[in-house]
Structure 1
Amino acid sequence: MKLGLWRNCAAVLLYLVIGIQPASAADPAPYPTRTVSIVVPTTPGGTADLLARLIGPKLAVKWGHPVIIENKPGAGTLVGTDYAAQAKPDGYTLLLTFNELATLPAINKHAKVDVVKGFERIGKIGTLPVLILANPKVQANSLRELIAEAKQNPGKLTYASNGSGGVLQLYSEMFKQEADVDIMHVPYKGALEASTAMLSGEVDVLVQFASGNVQNYVKANRTKAYAIASPERLPTLPDVPTTAEAGLPSLQLEAWYGVFAPAGTPRSIIDKVNQDVIEVLQMPDVQERLKGVGMAVDTGTPESFDAFFKKEYRRWTDLIVNAGIQSN
């Protein structure tokens, strides 16, 4: 009887140990339990800021805790990027940024942050396609004709950008590289100023995001649209051919946006934020708002975003180094 009693007690004790210990080890701490900050490394009003302020309140409702947007502009996007990279890797500081992150170390000599090792990739949000545009006074009526004109008159045609080292210069330099042409760079203070310069005839060519406003310029015949640098035509601009259709199949450009976290953030948090952001992006009102600014939702796993980002990093670093581009 005593032996049976001891056996029963031992069995109960073993059950309690086995039953309690794995549960405490396997179950991650709940997230979030307090306010989450989304850092945007630009001033308010840009596309990244718009996305953060669209997604943030939806996440706050899902999580039951506030989500605040912190705009930290400066030195391009370096100030906000560096701030986010140095934050505690606990999921309470996230970074919502865009393709400029992949170019930052190569283009900004003051950058110390390692954008590959310094961040976990959470997920891609979406993309804005890129159009190759020209002032209506430019004689060429197609991309092939533009390339031919540029080859016949090296350095005569001009293109506008949002500043030396800005993303519009990078897109234009990639176009020049793929088309093997020489077009002179004319930098402006911002994308709006660059668009205005092209529309007014100060410069000839502009490689620009296909935002809602830019698409309206095309529809109103205020600018020539030679091609969209995407695999497929835009439903909103069905008459504008892709770069492949227009004779330059090697050129693919897009502005992409995504969510990052400081390196070392637990994988359970990375997965949760990824899934919750995807669910928010699938909401009808969110999709309608994104459609209005010309953005295509493009989500995936952290692994797919990680592979995509590293490819972008190598691609743009090679271009910047070979072209000798530096930021202002």
Structure 2
Amino acid sequence: MTKPSLRRLVLAICAPLAALGLNASANSDFPSKPVRIIVPYPAGGVVDSLARLIGNKMTAKYGQPVIVENKAGAGGGIGTDYVAKSPPDGYTLLMVSPSHAVAPLFQKSIHWDPVQDFRGIAGFGAIPNVIVVHPDVAARTLSEFLELSRTSAAPATYASSGIGTSSFLAGELLVQTTHVPLTHVPYKGQPEAIHDVIAGRVDMMPMSTSLALPQIRAGKLRPLAVTTQQRASALPDVPTVAEAAGLPNYDVATWLALLAPSKTPEPVLQALSDGVAEVIAQPDVKAKFQELAIEGQPLTGAEFDRYLEKEVGAWALVVRQAGIKPN
């Protein structure tokens, strides 16, 4: 072999190895600048609260600011689109809940795919929703409420934090499985919806347990049933929808997860996943999870990716059966 040929061979072998070394070095230094967690919902909700908890803990761990930014609108679509189009470098992340799985089913303007355009970093468990009514509503059980709506001149109303959110899905599934008419009243977020339910402007709302608990304890809301198949540990005396209305397959929860754009390098995803796992294992974080009523086991990024794919398929069927078309 001639010397020029040998030189080219050595360069061909060494260049990729050098690139790998640079990538490994870059990833070992991650993060080297501030990280942002985008919350695609208004401030004050449970997704926002979780993002700020995780962000503060990751800031302490990394020594770099982890900043939470709220980019609300379009049922979470605006903030999600922003992250989908962000550089896949691990510095722009997305905190999500069930609306992430279904938003493209409701909005023609959405061009991102909940599965294909994102990778999981961690799943944090789920918060049971609880169906609540204003105390003036003449129903003390879910069965009584459904009968009231069935026999009234006008259907009862239910609030949600927006089309495609967990509260909307819980209400729509209730309509489908009971065949009882309910009029949907969407809001931009849970805080606004809760305000109107407490004021008596809307009859009912399936809302996250963590936000409902203070209002239930203050006597401002009455719980009828939790939407998961198991009773909520925070409300052990409140029956499930399955128990209260004889619907054994009814199951809706507000799951929570942290995602990154799909082309984020694997070492960066792993570094983030390891960091989050370390954070949520801390005793004070576990205590805060209990305060937020988050139940169930955390998931790795890969485990959440598989879970999300199943969720998308299941809710696509519900939406199709409801005859809902994207706007």
Cα deviation, residue 192, structure 1: 3.0
Corresponding residue for 2:182? Answer: 183
Shift of 1:324: 4.5
Contact 1:39 1:80 in 2 (8 A): yes
Aligned to 1:168: 167
The equivalences for 1:261-276 within 5 A come to 261-276=260-275
The code of the aligned residue for 1:39 comes to: I
CA distance in 1, matches of 2:127, 2:160: 17
How many residues align? The count is: 309
Distance 2:271 2:90 in 1: 10
Counterparts of 1:240-251 in structure 2 under 5 Å? 240-246=238-244, 247-251=246-250
Identity %: 36
Deviates more, 1:144-153 or 1:123-132: 144-153
Rounded Cα–Cα distance in structure 1 between residues aligned with 2:42 and 2:195: 21
Aligned residue for 2:217? 219
State the secondary structure of the residue aligned to 1:264: coil
Deviations 1:270-328 (CA, angstroms, capped at 9, x unpaired)? 22212221211121222233333333364112222011111111222333344344789
Per the alignment, in what secondary structure is the counterpart of residue 74 of structure 2? coil
CA RMSD of aligned residues (A): 3.0
CA deviations on 1:227-263 (whole Å, 9 max, x unpaired) are 1112332233221112232222211111121111111
Structure of larger gyration radius: 1
Could you tell which deviates more after superposition, 47-56 or 95-104? Answer: 47-56
Q: Is the contact between residue 159 and residue 203 of structure 1 (CA under 8 Å) also seen in structure 2?
A: yes
Which residue identity does 1:222 align to in structure 2?
Answer: K
SS at match of 1:114: coil
Aligned to 1:140: 139
1:27–1:205: structure 2 CA closer, same or farther, 3 Å change rule?
Answer: closer
Task: Indicate the SS of the match to 1:77.
Answer: helix
Deviation for aligned residue 1:159 = 1.8
Unaligned runs of 5+ in 1: 1-16
Asked if 1 retains the 8 angstrom alpha-carbon contact of 2:45 and 2:189, the reply is no
Structure 2: runs of 5 or more not aligned: 1-12
Which residue identity does 1:252 align to in structure 2? D
8 Å CA contact 1:154–1:181 kept in 2: the answer is: no
Q: Does 1:63 align with 2:58?
A: no
Q: Can you list the C-alpha shifts for 1:42-83, whole angstroms capped at 9, x where unaligned?
A: 343333232222212322333343323333333332222112
Rounded to whole Å, the distance in 1 between the matches of 2:43 and 2:219 is 30
Between 304-313 and 32-41, report the one with greater CA deviation: 32-41
Structure 1 ranges of 4+ moved more than 6 A: 24-27
Q: Which amino acid aligns with 1:50?
A: S
TM-score by length of 2: 0.82
CA 1:138–1:67 in structure 2 vs 1: closer, same or farther (change >3 Å)? closer
Retained in 1: the 8 A contact 2:106–2:163?
no
User: How far did residue 160 of structure 1 move?
Assistant: 2.3
How far apart, in 2, do the equivalents of 1:196 and 1:119 lie? 33
Distance 1:147 1:268 in 2: 51
